[in-house]
Amino acid sequence: MQISDDAQRAIVRELRESGCVFAEDEADLLITWSETMDELHCRVARRVAGAPLEHVLGWADFYGLRIVVEPGVFVPRRRTEFLVHQALTVADDGDIIVDLCCGSGAVGEAVMANRDRCQLSAVDLDPAAVRCARRNIGSKGQVYAGDLYNPLPEHLQGRINVLVANAPYVPTQAIGMMPQDARFYEPAAALDGGRDGLDIQRRIVAEAPRWLAPGGYLLMETSRSQAEYSADMCLRRGLVPRIAISDDLDATVIVARKET
């Protein structure tokens, strides 16, 4: 929609005063994607109150895709594009792909968008995330509601070529130091990884050898400080890990291969 320069400057000022670092860019997006002044004012008010921009707009830009992100669903971070990039280095056309702790389904959707004839299954415990992932993935794959591997069909055991997981890895005591939009608007279960941040990763790694095909890969986002521990977990379960780091995205990914 079109608004006056004075009105746009007022929105930029309001966003900046609320703490938005990229107030001009956010104002442009809010104006462009609003159809009426009432809708625009409502969206600006939600953003000023601290709601993530992606929840206000209803979508996130992720790996060149527009991913639907409903309120209450974990927002895919730009750093997680590195997880997709690493997955694409090991994924082939026609592979069986599984996305655990899928949230909006962004990671699995991005991998599928760059490989042909793959078979995707995505899993999340949160009903809002499952609903959102089904909107994003649509007929391109199956989205299951449940705890990690539990809802996956048994015929996938020993057949998964690429298993990706952006599981929660923030230590419980560090949640309080996260930005307000994450603490107040995203589900705690999508952030809290337990005392050392690795509780969910341990469960994923423990069962991964049973589900991976020979030569298959497990890929997990983690933090740089946790990477050695995450890699050691994989090694103790018979997987061969390496640590991939992107300084540009401040991202760390464990890439662990099941030997043939």
pLDDT in tens, 74-123: 999 999 999 999 999 999 999 999 999 999 999 999 999 999 999 999 99
Judge whether residue 2 has pLDDT over 90.
no
Is it the case that residue 235 has pLDDT exceeding 90? yes
Band (181; pLDDT cuts 50, 70, 90): confident
pLDDT band at 180 (very low <50, low <70, confident <90, very high): confident
Can you read off the two tokens belonging to residue 104? 């909006």
Contacts of 77 (CB under 8 A, 6+ apart): none
Average pLDDT over residues 194-213: 97
- Cβ pair 22, 15 in contact under 8 A: no
Q: What is the model's pLDDT at position 82?
A: 98
CB neighbourhood size of 123 (10 A): 25
* Full-model pTM: 0.94
Q: What is the average pLDDT across 208-215?
A: 98
Distances from the Cα of 182 to the Cα of 75, 175, 230, angstroms = 9, 9, 24
pLDDT, residue 123, reads: 98
> 72: pLDDT confidence band, cut at 50, 70 and 90?
very high
pLDDT at 1: 80
Long-range contacts of 5-11 (CB under 8 A, 24+ apart): 11/40, 11/44
pLDDT band with cut points at 50, 70 and 90 for residue 241: very high
- Distance from C-alpha of 133 to C-alpha of 195, rounded to nearest angstrom: 28
Task: Please tell me the predicted confidence (pLDDT) of residue 260.
Answer: 79
Averaged confidence pLDDT in the chain? 96
Q: What is the mean pLDDT of residues 149-166?
A: 98
pLDDT above 90 (res 145): yes
Beta strand 212-222 with 251-258 is antiparallel
Q: How confident is the model at residue 153 (pLDDT cuts 50, 70, 90)?
A: very high
**Tokens 């049973």 appear where?**
210
Q: Let me know: does 67 contact 59? Beta carbons within 8 Å.
A: yes
| Residues 169 and 226 sit within 8 Å (Cβ to Cβ) | yes
Mean pLDDT computed over 183-193: 93
Asked if 200 and 168 count as a contact pair (C-beta separation under 8 A), the reply is yes
Mean pLDDT, to the nearest integer, of 151-173?
Answer: 97
Give the per-residue pLDDT at 179: 87
